[in-house]
Structure 1
Amino acid sequence: MDTKAYIESGVIESYVLGLASADEAAELELLCMQHADIKNAVDEFAALIEANAFNNAVTPPPTVKDKVMLALSEEFEKEKNKIVPVIPLHTGNTDAETVTVAPKPTWRYLAAASIILLVVSTALNFYFYSNYKTSNEKYVALLEERNSLQAKNDVNLTRLNDYEESMHIIQNPDVQKIDLPGIKGHENTFAAVYWDSKTKDVYLLPAKMDALPSDKQYQLWAIVDGKPVSAGLVEDCNGLCKMSNVPKASMFAITVEPKGGSQSPHLDAMVVAGAVKI
């Protein structure tokens, strides 16, 4: 199993944050028992979330405690001064003797404790929810950043591979280079064709080619027995552009054609041309 790919898949983060499905959670817990690196990854991310929660703790407003304690104080003061009748049992006098007695405040204390627990519970719920929300937002942001970096890395890796392949083609002794300088009116334009004498594969390097309108496109032509033969449309590419295979040619040229190419070249739209050295 490729544990590195599994760790980078995002399942561990979803599991720790409580977002994983039951099947994903069961699979991860089983893999933790089989692979120490996966178990370590789970512990590390859980520790990271816990540290982040404490670093971003939200303290309940102090007014909450003051209001609760004030309400309890007023309630206890009422109970303290409450007048209740007491009837002595050792005499036959049924007249109530009025005395000041402090009743057992057991249920009041229980009520007070319940209120305090409610306040603490509310504060903790708010605390954990705030930290969860913050951690989840940071996790999503990190995940998006990782995906963006991964996409950029893939693009750069593709470019690097294309450049390396281009260098191998250019350095191949079987490949002939045909320079295509700009014709009159296009002196600052330049391209080069790399033609494999064995495979007859053709590669184009559009070194200095002006950008074209969206409805126009460059097209490469090979002059075969005095007639132009299309060698393909010039697309965006990294390094060398792979063109059509050309068995034989005496010359190569590039013209500007309508988007999608033409069956035959517009010679008045030629920009570069070069003869094949025999």
Structure 2
Amino acid sequence: MKEKIKIFLDSDLLEKYLLGSTNEMESLQVERYIAMYPEVRDTYNELQDNLESFAKLHAIKTPDGLKEKILARIKSERTGRKKFFRYAIAASIIACVFASASYFFYNQNQNLQQENTIVSNKIKTLEADMRQQLEDVRNQFIVLNNPQTKKYNVRGNRMAKDLKAIAYINPVKKLSYINVSKLPELPENQCFQMWAEVNGKMLNLGIIEEAGNKDNLTALPYADNAVSYITIEPKGGNVSPTVNKIVANIAY
């Protein structure tokens, strides 16, 4: 059942339903899942709150008192004038007001369309980020709880004796993560940087800012016979690893 819910959440049906782009069958499926499964309902409510926040942020308010100003202007022009001129002037004023209003609302409509595009793009970016985060959490859960995951204790060499880390490798799911639990102190002009050699290419995995807790996992690119390295580099990181300052390696 959980796998069924995961498959549903990994699809984009909830997002499409929120944006009104599902067909009748898809809408019925989404509504059934929302009613039956708390996990789906929570995710739907969160997406709905995010969409509502974006909509409120970019809402366009009609100018206050527009109707009252139009009626007051018409009434003032009627006073003390002949019937013909009263109606002529009133008609002219109405025409001018409605022309101005039309131009105003045309511009507002153009701005609204542009802002709607921005909001839609932000929502798509948010959805992509959420899916990526959910995917990463799912993968971490698999790596930490799957019995086929292999754990490798990583120790630093003589240049970083206190460095400690644990690598988690799952060859079945083809997932790799590392948790750096302890880092030795370095001079202010140096830093630790992580690398991965995959299919003959060296990939920069970024600077290790500080040691994390047991749940702070960093994803590693998975490949057969891949090797990851931790090196000491100048502050700010390097574009390529300094091979004579490799302090730890992880082969998997």
TM-score by length of 1: 0.45
Larger helix proportion of the pair: 2
Higher radius of gyration, 1 or 2: 1
